[in-house]
Amino acid sequence: MSQDQTTVEDTEHHLELRNLRLDDYDDVRGLMDSVYAKVGGAWPYKNFKAQVTTFSEGQICIEDKGKVVAFAISVIVDYEQFGDKHSYDEITGDAYLTTHDPNGDVLYGVEVIVCPSYRGLRLGRRLYEARKDLCRNLNLKSIMAGGRIPNYANYSSQMSPYEYIEQVKSKDIYDPILTFQLANGFEVKQVMTAYLPEDEDSKGYATLLQWHNIYYEPNSPLLIGGKKSSARIGCIQWQMRYFNNVEELLQQVEYFVDALSDYGCDVALFPEFFNAPLMGLSPNESSIDAIWHLATYTDEILTSVSHLAVSYNITIIAGSMPVVEDDELYNVAYVCKRDGTIESQYKLHPTPHEKKDWIMKGGDSLKTFDTDFGKIGVLICYDVEFPELARVLSEQEMQILFVPFWTDTKNGYLRVRRCAQARAIENECYVAIAGSVGNLPKVDNVDIQYGQTAVFSPSDFAFPHDAIVSETTPNTEMTLIVDLDLDKLTKLQNEGSVRNYLDRRRDLYRVEWIGNR
C-alpha cells in the first residue's frame, strides 16, 4: 500500500452522505420496488421530482461508490394544520409534498429506506442522525413521523396495537421498524388508525413518533450541513495480552469500537503497534523476524477495521502497524473513515531501536486529514518530539492532533507527553495521545510497556487550568472519552491572552516542508 490515499476501488465501501438529485431516481425506484413489493412499490418519477424540487435540502441519501443504497425523504409542515389525527396521504400531499411550508415548525419524516444488503452497516441510524442535524440547523421544534409496525400482524389476534407497542418498548417483542425508532430517541405519541390502509402487515395501524429538538430557539440562523462546533473523541488505553490468532485480536478491537460508538464518539484512537501481541505467533525468535511476521497481518486487520468504521459509524485511527513495501519496513498509521475511505500517515522518524533492531525506514510525506468532525493530523509517537511537523500541520489548519504511542519506560512516556503538551500550546490545537500497557513476556525487545492516555488543550482561560482536558489512570486498560469545543480554538487565535498563531514573526522565520519535490 502506498503512502498516498488508498483508492476508492481498493476499499470495500466509499460512503457519501448527500442530498438526493433527480438523476438518482433509478436507484431510488429499485430500492422502493425491493422493499415495498407488497404495498405498491416505487413512487412514479413525478412524485420523486416534486420531492426533490420542492424541498431539496430535506431529501438525503447515502451513496456507495456512485450508487444510492439508502435514502430519507422529509417535508416541513405547519403541524397545527394537521394535528395528530392525520393520514400519510394528507400530511405528505399524496407524496408530492404539496404540504411543504418553509415557515412551518416540524420536520415530518416521509420515508426512510435502506438497501436490504446494507442493513448490517447501520445506515438507517446515519440517516436519522442526518435528519436530526437538519432539524437542528433549520431550527424546527421536532421531527415527527408515522411509523409502520410490520410485525404486528403476527400478534394482532392476541393483543391490541397499544399492548403490542408497550411490549416492543419493554423489548419483549421485536419490531424491525419501531424497535429501531425507539433506539434512535423517538417517542410514541399515540396510535393512528388507517394511516396506511394498504399496509396489511401493520393492519393499517401506525405509531405517531416524535423527536424533540432541545436546541430549538426562535430566530436561529438556518443552516444545513454546517461544520461541527465540537467533537467527541474516544481513546483506547490498550492492554497488551497474548492472542492465539488475529481473530481474537479483532474481537478485542471491535469491543472497544462498539463501546465508543455507543457513547456517540466521532473517532476512536488506538495506540501504536496495538497488534504487537501477534508477534508472539512468529515461528522465529529474533525480533526482526517477529516484526516482519507481524506485517503479514496488516492488510487483514486494516480491512476489518475499515469495515468496523463503516458499520459503527465512527472514524478509527488504527494506531499504527508495520508494512513492508519494496522489501522495506515502515510504521504506518491508518485513518479509517466512517465513509469507507482509508488514508495513511507513515512514521517519519523511526527511533534508534526501530532502525537498529528492526531495520525500519521512515516515510516521506505529511498531511492533514479532512473529517466530518474537523481537520486532524496524526504523528506516531517519536514524531511528536519534532516540533516542525506539528507546525507544518498547524499551517494547514489542523484542529486536533492524534498521537498513537508505544513506550516501555516512564521517562520514554514523559518525553511523548511533554512534547504533546507543548504542541497543543504552541499550535493552539488539541492533542490526544493513546498508548498501550501491560507485558508481553514472549516477545523479544517489546516485553514491557508504560502508558497513560490523555487529551491536552491550549493553555488559556477558556481551557482547563492545567491544559489537561482529561487523562486515564496509568497502566490500566480503559477508555478515555472527551468532548472538544472547536470554536474555542478560533476564539483563542483572535482573543487569547497570547496568540501564538497571529504573533508568529513570519517576516523573520518559517517552517517549510521540502519533501515530495
HEC states along 341-372? CEEEEECCCCCHHHHHHCCECCCCCCCCEEEC
User: Strands 436-439, 230-240: parallel, antiparallel or unpaired by DSSP?
Assistant: parallel
Whole-angstrom distance, CA of residue 487 vs CA of residue 231: 10
Q: How far is CA 275 from CA 290, 327, 358, 391, 491, in A?
A: 12, 21, 16, 30, 39
Q: What is the DSSP letter of 218?
A: T
Q: What is the DSSP letter of 246?
A: H
Coil/strand/helix, residue 388:
helix
Active site residue 111: no
Beta strands in 416-476 (DSSP E): 430-434, 436-439, 448-449, 454-456, 468-471
Cβ contacts of 37 within 8 Å, gap of 6 or more: none
Catalytic residue among 381, 428, 429, 488: 381
Active site residue 347: yes
Q: Please list the residues that pair with 370 across neighbouring strands.
A: 375
Which residue's entry shows cell 479532512?
A: 370
**Helix or strand holding residue 332 (H, E):** strand 328-336
The distance of Cα 117 from the centroid of its chain, to the nearest Å, equals 21
Whole-angstrom distance, CA of residue 70 vs CA of residue 65: 13
Q: How far is CA 507 from CA 152, 501, 504, 510, 511, in A?
A: 73, 13, 9, 8, 12
Amino acid letter at 363? G
Active site residue 67: no
Q: How far is CA 369 from CA 372, 420, 424, 449, in A?
A: 10, 19, 18, 29
DSSP 196-215: STT-TTTTT-EEEEEEE-TT
Long-range contacts of 263-266 (CB under 8 A, 24+ apart): 263/232, 263/234, 263/481, 264/232, 265/232, 265/233, 265/234, 265/314, 265/481, 266/228, 266/231, 266/232, 266/233, 266/314, 266/315, 266/371, 266/372, 266/373
Active site residues: 272, 347, 381
